[in-house]
């Protein structure tokens, strides 16, 4: 299998090691070369890397395209790619675009052009999510508190709401997607400002999810089921196998394996989720 990875951040330290074993060739832009060579843990993956200068020179050598870029750029990048390539599948990062309306337009475009795609909502592959999913029986209560240490020195898009970042669009959207897929779509209460995002979701079985995502002085991820805590961690990826000291890489491997083995595109479901995200923002 031949992969094209676009993105010099999470694309090369997350997706590159994750797809390496299952790849024949991995195409990367030549401008990423110096950055990879500076990171010793990544140089071992260069054996299967083919460098390119312009995407139009790759032609039809690509099976799968991975895009890990600023959400404001993803739509434009995909449009350019599809002028020259016909990938079997697009792996996109969340959010797929920087606003709900733009994201809907993006999905409509992909649907119209019959492009298969998935979005990297990795929490669905974590043990604590499986626990919640299993225990959503009747009248259950879960509280998730996620404290995020904000690096003020890095004024990146990830902390900018208008760019598709911030507490709602970059962090909380992970949780929006999880609980939308579990039918917890009755929005009971939403409170959002620059420092916190609080909301309560319900389903038809009287189950409730209390979510509190906020910037803080320390990283913390706690989950309480009814009155008892069953997870206390510094991050959502606790107990995941670390590859290159990053627990997300092994989760990406599970995600990609799942796409290869079980994936069926459902454009309608993707649009419903974005409408749910839009509704949350409208009520905040």
Omega within 30 of 0 (cis) for the link into 95: yes
What confidence tens digit (pLDDT) does each residue in 159-188 have? 899 999 999 999 999 999 999 999 999 998
Q: What is the pLDDT of residue 60?
A: 73
Q: Which residue has the tokens 């454009």?
A: 267
Q: Does domain 2-93 have CATH number 3.30.470.20?
A: no
Q: What span, in angstroms and rounded, lies between the C-alpha atoms of 205 and 224?
A: 19
End-to-end Cα spacing for the chain:
44
**Whether the domain at 2-93 and the domain at 127-239+265-283 fall into the same CATH topology:** no
Cβ distance 144 to 210 under 8 Å? yes
Q: Please state which of the four CATH numbers 3.40.30.10, 1.10.3720.10, 3.30.360.10, 3.40.250.10 is assigned to the domain occupying 127-239+265-283.
A: 3.30.360.10
Taking residues 247-267, what's their average pLDDT?
96
Contact 220, 147 (CB under 8 A): yes
Give the rounded percent of residues in the chain with a pLDDT score beyond 90.
88
pLDDT at 47: 96
pTM: 0.95
Q: What is the pLDDT of residue 77?
A: 95
Q: Give the per-residue pLDDT at 243.
A: 86
pLDDT digits 0-9 by tens, 209-248: 999 999 999 999 999 999 999 999 999 998 787 888 899 9
| Distance separating alpha carbons of residues 258 and 3, to the nearest angstrom | 17
| C-beta neighbour count of 281 within 10 angstroms | 15
Domain ranges of the chain: 2-93, 127-239+265-283
The answer, yes or no, to whether residue 154 has pLDDT greater than 80, is no
Q: What does the alpha-carbon distance between residue 220 and residue 25 come to, in Å, rounded to a whole number?
A: 38
Q: Is residue 222 a contact partner of residue 144, using CB atoms and an 8 Å limit?
A: yes
Q: What is the CA radius of gyration of the chain?
A: 19
In the chain, which residue ranges form alpha helices assigned H by DSSP?
10, 16-19, 33-37, 40-43, 71-84, 100-112, 127-135, 166, 173-181, 248-262, 267-283
């Amino acid at each position: 299998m031949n992969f094209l990875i676009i993105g010099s951040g999470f694309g090369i330290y997350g997706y590159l090691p994750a797809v390496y074993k299952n790849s024949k060739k991995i195409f990367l832009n030549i401008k990423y070369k110096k950055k990879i060579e500076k990171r010793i843990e990544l140089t071992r993956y260069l054996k299967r890397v083919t460098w390119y200068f312009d995407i139009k020179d790759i032609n039809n050598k690509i099976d799968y395209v991975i895009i890990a870029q600023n959400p404001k750029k993803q739509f434009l990048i995909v449009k350019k790619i599809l002028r020259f390539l016909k990938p079997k599948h697009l792996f996109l990062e969340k959010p797929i675009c920087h606003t709900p309306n733009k994201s809907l337009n993006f999905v409509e475009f992909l649907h119209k052009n019959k492009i298969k795609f998935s979005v990297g909502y990795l929490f669905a592959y974590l043990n604590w999510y499986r626990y919640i999913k299993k225990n959503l029986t009747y009248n259950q209560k879960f509280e998730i508190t996620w404290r995020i240490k904000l690096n003020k020195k890095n004024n990146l898009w990830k902390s900018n709401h208008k760019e598709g970042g911030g507490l709602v669009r970059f962090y909380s959207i992970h949780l929006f997607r999880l609980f939308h897929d579990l039918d917890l779509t009755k929005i009971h209460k939403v409170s959002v400002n620059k420092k916190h995002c609080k909301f309560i979701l319900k389903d038809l079985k009287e189950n409730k999810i209390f979510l509190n995502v906020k910037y803080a002085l320390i990283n913390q991820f706690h989950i309480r089921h009814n009155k008892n805590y069953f997870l206390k961690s510094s991050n959502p990826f606790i107990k995941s196998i670390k590859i290159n000291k990053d627990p997300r890489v092994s989760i990406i491997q599970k995600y990609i394996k799942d796409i290869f083995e079980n994936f069926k595109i459902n454009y309608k479901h993707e649009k419903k989720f974005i409408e749910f995200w839009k509704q949350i923002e409208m009520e905040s």
